[in-house]
A and B are shown apart, each in its own frame.
Chain A
Amino acid sequence: MASVTLENVSRMYGAVTAVDHVNLKIKSGEFVTLLGPSGCGKTTTLRMVAGLEKNTGGRISIGDNVVSDADKGYFVPSERRRLGMVFQSYAIWPHMTVFDNVAYPLRIRRRPDQEIRDRVMNALRLVEMEQYADRPSPALSGGQQQRVAIARALVFEPEVLLLDEPLSNLDARLRTQMGDDFRALQQRLKITALYVTHDQAEAMALSDRVVVMHGGRILQVGAPEEIYRRPENRQVAAFFGTPNLLDAKVKECRPNGGTHYKLEVEGQGWSGECHAATEMPKGTDVTVMLRPENLHLRQSGEANGGLSWAGEVSQAIFRGSHRSVMVKTEAQTLHVEASSLENVDIGRPVTVAAPAEAAWAVRA
């Protein structure tokens, strides 16, 4: 398996910039996910790596070989890049059996029959589809088609595996299971995988690193937990779940001993401690991010350290695993994920509390 390097890769469609100076290095055996809202350029990026789309700027390398260099006009066509790809539609050829579909990359390369049989059956075994080898491919369910598509992408031992929203056509339960299976397979075979999705839960569960994209640009690259807990800006913060974003001003800033800084901030009717990635001078406007699951409801007036807001319950929705509670405070309405056992009455005065570790500040 090989690494993939994108240097200043861009793609213009006429005057529209679909991908804008993307820099990314995927290590051998690493699972990297491109994540972002629809239309942010994920598919275009993936297709440029695949050689299905030509980058109008920058350079793409697979392993040590440059496969596309816009400035030099150099371009290796798709079929010579030794890739495997799983399409969103699976692209299972309807006129072939399962076996023929998977055998295709080998037949194209004129491998001997015996080798084809062994390798196809091996690949089908990996995805637990060997008993379906002789099925005509239109007679497969969505999940089965997806497995065949993976087997086909892996059969030739490609340099890199590319996947474009491979789970989005499956129902929710199957999606989780197929995702977990695929992650296990990827780790076992140490496949270099570039994966595209708009589903943040999927991205976090599967990837070694997540690349958050917006408007053709990379906003942040990092491990799932890093990106979830310590986003670099407001856009990334807002992209995961529905965090509470509060405006505040920096009162004091000092290093916390680690790689972060500790801030004293003051907002509308509240003040307290939070963390940030960079040093921020006094008076800087910041946005403080608080995830609903890290907020707690207390009896009115009761607060012990950390951050707290006084307010009253304006809405409560029972969601089974938890209860979404809206608390109206002087600053803004806060969204709290409370235990589903907790009994909350509309209009009741409460205090919302959060530990300082849960509050993350970015420049507004």
Chain B
Amino acid sequence: MTIIPNRSLDDIAETTPALGGNAISRAFSGGSLGRWIGLLLLILLLGFLTIYPLAMLLYGSLHSTPPGMAGEFNLNGYRSIMTTQNLIVLANTVGISLAKTIPSLTIAVFLAWIVARTDTPFRGTLEVLITLPFFIPPILTAMAWGMLANPQVGVINMLWRGMTGAQEPLVNIYSYGGVIWHMCQYSIPFLFLFMVDAFRAMDPSLEESSRMCGASRLMTFRKITLLLMLPVLTSSFMLSFIKGIETFESALFFGLPAGIKVITTDIYESINHRATPDYQYATSLSFAILGLMLLLVVWQWALLRGKSFQTVTGKGFRPNVMELGPWRWVTFAVCVLFFLISVVLPVGQLLLGSFFRFFGFYTYDMLTLEHYKAVFNNSEFWRAMGNTMLLGLLGATATMVLGAVVAYISIRTRWRGRSLIDGMAWLPWMMPGMVLGVGFLWAFAMLPGPLPIYGTIWALLLAYIALGTPVAVRVMTGAYHQLSYDLEECSRVHGASWFQTMWRIMVALAWPAFAVGWVLTFFGIMRELSASILLYSVGSETLAVVLMKLWANGNAEQVSVIGLMMMLLVIVFRWVQLKFIKARLSKL
């Protein structure tokens, strides 16, 4: 440690530089200059990651030619998105998101209640199983369901035909229902994770006192439990709805083949599936969707203003667990059923698909290991594997470090610019991956020559960092909130410098949260498809991109093999996380 700053960050704002040599010499001798430079670099970095692509999105939407080409400025892009067809796309997007949010929320509430508030057996294990689908890349389950519920050769339909002799397929995944069905599988565990702690933390004395006042169980549930949970439910609903508008995979796999378009797939299509990519149209549409997201976010704020989650938290009580009697085996079965449908079925399909010569022909003589051989001999696969690992490790680390710094500045200092930094880091929150991808497409293409990021793996890395930062900031903010200022100040008073305090106290105490966030970000990078598919180029493919390519070529068998590998990675990481990080957390 060469520079030992002797003043904390908040002093920067408070010290109005007095005239005279004293203040100036102090500014240059102490750590404050270093700190100013650090802050400036941070603002520049955040600006590059969030403001710059946003600005380029606006620029691109007004620009008549693809990125990097001479052209003129006009409003043709906006004119071209004002079509009745796009009204249908908009209705599809909103409708599908609503249609998946309502059942997802209902089921997630039910599952959260089972796990948190009943005496269902093996609740701890059930919780791990129920949340597993959240960590599986949606592209994997999409492909698996594409095979399971394919109207011609899907296992489900083949079994149905075999059992009933019917000619018509039982289910067709290439439909509205299919899109919604697939979205639910990801939404339910996500909502469950979001809500289960609120259920767990609810002070039972609030319910008990209602019973004491003469209210029945049902009345209590309606008047107390539900109302207490309302803020959590509302924010869950909004979050899930917004995420639904941003999703890409479900609509890409099951919507496009059936002619069902949503905004994200429309953007994707106009760049990747047209004879001449229409960048201006895609960019204008991206910018327009941002407007929609902004409206939603504002609505969310308005709904949640003044309602805090604190209402449901309490201390020093044991959550009362409802005794279900024999019904507890029913609730147990419900949880297991969810796990079977959302994990075992798709993973089973991948296993099945990987061992047979052709997808759809499941007979004994078709058994083979050739797909495994093919994948292991496929240099593109190994390159993608290497890329994904590298991006995951670097991206998760960089994102969490950035998140930790931003969160620290925004909640631990009184520096005046902190809300600027916080706001910049939050911006990607309302940008779907697809939109950020388009923004970066322009951003990288418009960079001056000496910065050849476009088309390299660094383009993906920067996009991932931008996409992950809002969550990283949230995780670290939560961690810092739990550490009282006293712990830090006490260290300062007893002789430790700012850096020593950071290292010995803050880092030492906040690392479990950092690790949890790191794993989350890593999973996020592993499953990212929408930005990757716009920003990759030959040599910088990720696993998800390679899967997409193989799928598009009809190679469902190798897709299964690679899917299984990814699944294995997911399980290993999840196991490590549960085994080591949770244990440390509970020790604190």
Interface set of A (CB-CB < 8 Å, partner B): 50-52, 54, 72-75, 77-85, 87-91, 93-95, 104-105, 108-109, 138, 152-153, 156, 162
Other-chain residue from A72, A74, A78 in contact with B493 (beta carbon distance below 8 A): A78
Other-chain residue from B7, B23, B505 in contact with A93 (beta carbon distance below 8 A): B505
Write 9 A-B pairs (CB below 8 A) sorted by A numbering: A73-B15, A73-B22, A74-B22, A75-B11, A77-B492, A87-B489, A93-B490, A93-B491, A104-B496
Please, what's the 1-or-0 string for B492-525, where 1 marks a CB less than 8 Å from any CB in chain A?
Answer: 1111110010001100110000000000000000
Q: Are the CB atoms of A91 and B496 closer together than 8 Å?
A: no
By a CB distance below 8 angstroms, the chain B residues around A93 are 487, 490-491, 505, 508-509
Q: Are the CB atoms of A94 and B588 closer together than 8 Å?
A: yes
By a CB distance below 8 angstroms, the chain B residues around A75 are 7, 11
Q: Are the CB atoms of A108 and B495 closer together than 8 Å?
A: yes
Q: Are the CB atoms of B484 and A84 closer together than 8 Å?
A: no
By a CB distance below 8 angstroms, the chain B residues around A156 are 494-495
By a CB distance below 8 angstroms, the chain A residues around B15 are 73
By a CB distance below 8 angstroms, the chain B residues around A153 are 494
Q: Are the CB atoms of A77 and B7 closer together than 8 Å?
A: yes
CA distance A104 to B503 in the complex (A): 13
**Does B365 make an interface contact (CB < 8 A)?**
no
Q: Are the CB atoms of A80 and B486 closer together than 8 Å?
A: no
Q: Are the CB atoms of A80 and B6 closer together than 8 Å?
A: yes
By a CB distance below 8 angstroms, the chain A residues around B487 are 91, 93
Q: Are the CB atoms of B493 and A51 closer together than 8 Å?
A: yes
Q: Are the CB atoms of B22 and A83 closer together than 8 Å?
A: no
From A51, A52, A78, name the one whose CB has the most chain B CB atoms within 10 angstroms: A78
**Does B14 make an interface contact (CB < 8 A)?**
yes
Given contacts A73-B23, A77-B7, contact A91 B495 (CB under 8 A): no
From A54, A73, A82, name the one whose CB has the most chain B CB atoms within 10 angstroms: A73
Given contacts A52-B489, A91-B489, contact A73 B494 (CB under 8 A): no
By a CB distance below 8 angstroms, the chain B residues around A84 are 493-494
CA distance A75 to B509 in the complex (A): 29
CA distance A108 to B495 in the complex (A): 7
Q: Are the CB atoms of B11 and A54 closer together than 8 Å?
A: yes
By a CB distance below 8 angstroms, the chain A residues around B549 are none
Which residue on B lies nearest to A107, using beta carbons? B504
Please, what's the 1-or-0 string for B10-23, where 1 marks a CB less than 8 Å from any CB in chain A?
Answer: 01001100100011
CA distance A221 to B307 in the complex (A): 46
CA distance A73 to B14 in the complex (A): 11
CA distance A82 to B496 in the complex (A): 10
CA distance A79 to B31 in the complex (A): 15
Closest beta carbon of chain B to A98's beta carbon, Å: 15
Please, what's the 1-or-0 string for B461-505, where 1 marks a CB less than 8 Å from any CB in chain A?
Answer: 000000000000000000000001011011111111100100011
From A50, A82, A95, A156, name the one whose CB has the most chain B CB atoms within 10 angstroms: A95
CA distance A74 to B6 in the complex (A): 12
Which residue on B lies nearest to A71, using beta carbons? B18
Q: Are the CB atoms of B496 and A87 closer together than 8 Å?
A: no
Q: Are the CB atoms of A85 and B493 closer together than 8 Å?
A: yes
By a CB distance below 8 angstroms, the chain A residues around B491 are 93, 104
Q: Are the CB atoms of B14 and A91 closer together than 8 Å?
A: no
Other-chain residue from B6, B18, B489, B494 in contact with A105 (beta carbon distance below 8 A): B494
By a CB distance below 8 angstroms, the chain A residues around B495 are 79-80, 82, 105, 108-109, 156
CA distance A152 to B493 in the complex (A): 11
CA distance A83 to B15 in the complex (A): 23
Which residue on A lies nearest to B4, using beta carbons? A79
Q: Are the CB atoms of B489 and A78 closer together than 8 Å?
A: yes
17 additional contacts, CB 8 Å, given A75-B7, A93-B509?
A75-B11, A77-B8, A78-B492, A82-B495, A83-B493, A85-B493, A88-B486, A89-B484, A90-B486, A91-B486, A93-B508, A94-B588, A95-B508, A95-B588, A104-B491, A108-B496, A156-B495
**Does B222 make an interface contact (CB < 8 A)?**
no
CA distance A88 to B490 in the complex (A): 11
By a CB distance below 8 angstroms, the chain A residues around B493 are 50-52, 78-79, 81, 83-85, 162
- The binding surface of chain B is classed by DSSP as helix
CA distance A152 to B494 in the complex (A): 8
Q: Are the CB atoms of A73 and B489 closer together than 8 Å?
A: no
Q: Are the CB atoms of B484 and A54 closer together than 8 Å?
A: no
From B11, B494, B588, name the one whose CB has the most chain A CB atoms within 10 angstroms: B494
By a CB distance below 8 angstroms, the chain B residues around A81 are 493
From B8, B484, B486, name the one whose CB has the most chain A CB atoms within 10 angstroms: B486
Other-chain residue from B8, B11, B486 in contact with A87 (beta carbon distance below 8 A): B486
By a CB distance below 8 angstroms, the chain B residues around A78 are 489, 492-493
Q: Are the CB atoms of B26 and A73 closer together than 8 Å?
A: yes
From B26, B491, B508, name the one whose CB has the most chain A CB atoms within 10 angstroms: B491
Closest beta carbon of chain B to A188's beta carbon, Å: 22
Other-chain residue from A82, A89, A109 in contact with B486 (beta carbon distance below 8 A): A89
By a CB distance below 8 angstroms, the chain A residues around B508 are 93, 95
Closest beta carbon of chain B to A250's beta carbon, Å: 50
CA distance A90 to B490 in the complex (A): 9
Closest beta carbon of chain A to B582's beta carbon, Å: 16
Given contacts A93-B505, A95-B509, contact A104 B494 (CB under 8 A): yes
CA distance A330 to B418 in the complex (A): 63
Other-chain residue from B11, B494, B588 in contact with A138 (beta carbon distance below 8 A): B588
CA distance A79 to B505 in the complex (A): 15
By a CB distance below 8 angstroms, the chain A residues around B492 are 51-52, 77-79
Other-chain residue from B6, B18, B23, B490 in contact with A91 (beta carbon distance below 8 A): B490
Which are the 3 A-B pairs with shortest beta-carbon distances?
A: A91-B486, A91-B490, A105-B494
CA distance A231 to B508 in the complex (A): 50
CA distance A80 to B493 in the complex (A): 8
Q: Are the CB atoms of B509 and A54 closer together than 8 Å?
A: no
CA distance A54 to B14 in the complex (A): 9
Which residue on A lies nearest to B512, using beta carbons? A95
CA distance A123 to B327 in the complex (A): 59
By a CB distance below 8 angstroms, the chain A residues around B504 are 104, 108
Closest beta carbon of chain A to B178's beta carbon, Å: 49
Which residue on A lies nearest to B501, using beta carbons? A79
Please, what's the 1-or-0 string for B283-296, where 1 marks a CB less than 8 Å from any CB in chain A?
Answer: 00000000000000
Closest beta carbon of chain A to B507's beta carbon, Å: 10
Which residue on A lies nearest to B19, using beta carbons? A73
Please, what's the 1-or-0 string for B546-588, where 1 marks a CB less than 8 Å from any CB in chain A?
Answer: 0000000000000000000000000000000000000000001
Q: Are the CB atoms of A77 and B6 closer together than 8 Å?
A: yes
Closest beta carbon of chain B to A31's beta carbon, Å: 19
CA distance A37 to B373 in the complex (A): 78
Q: Are the CB atoms of A73 and B18 closer together than 8 Å?
A: yes
By a CB distance below 8 angstroms, the chain B residues around A87 are 486, 489-490
Which residue on B lies nearest to A50, using beta carbons? B493
By a CB distance below 8 angstroms, the chain B residues around A80 are 6, 495
CA distance A89 to B488 in the complex (A): 12
By a CB distance below 8 angstroms, the chain A residues around B11 are 54, 75
By a CB distance below 8 angstroms, the chain A residues around B26 are 73
CA distance A17 to B271 in the complex (A): 61
By a CB distance below 8 angstroms, the chain A residues around B490 are 85, 87, 91, 93
Closest beta carbon of chain B to A160's beta carbon, Å: 11
Q: Are the CB atoms of A79 and B496 closer together than 8 Å?
A: yes
Q: Are the CB atoms of A108 and B486 closer together than 8 Å?
A: no
By a CB distance below 8 angstroms, the chain B residues around A105 are 494-495
CA distance A280 to B311 in the complex (A): 58
By a CB distance below 8 angstroms, the chain B residues around A73 are 15, 18, 22-23, 26
Closest beta carbon of chain A to B334's beta carbon, Å: 37
Please, what's the 1-or-0 string for B175-204, where 1 marks a CB less than 8 Å from any CB in chain A?
Answer: 000000000000000000000000000000
Closest beta carbon of chain B to A158's beta carbon, Å: 8
Which residue on B lies nearest to A47, using beta carbons? B489
CA distance A240 to B15 in the complex (A): 40
Closest beta carbon of chain B to A197's beta carbon, Å: 17
CA distance A85 to B485 in the complex (A): 14
CA distance A138 to B586 in the complex (A): 12
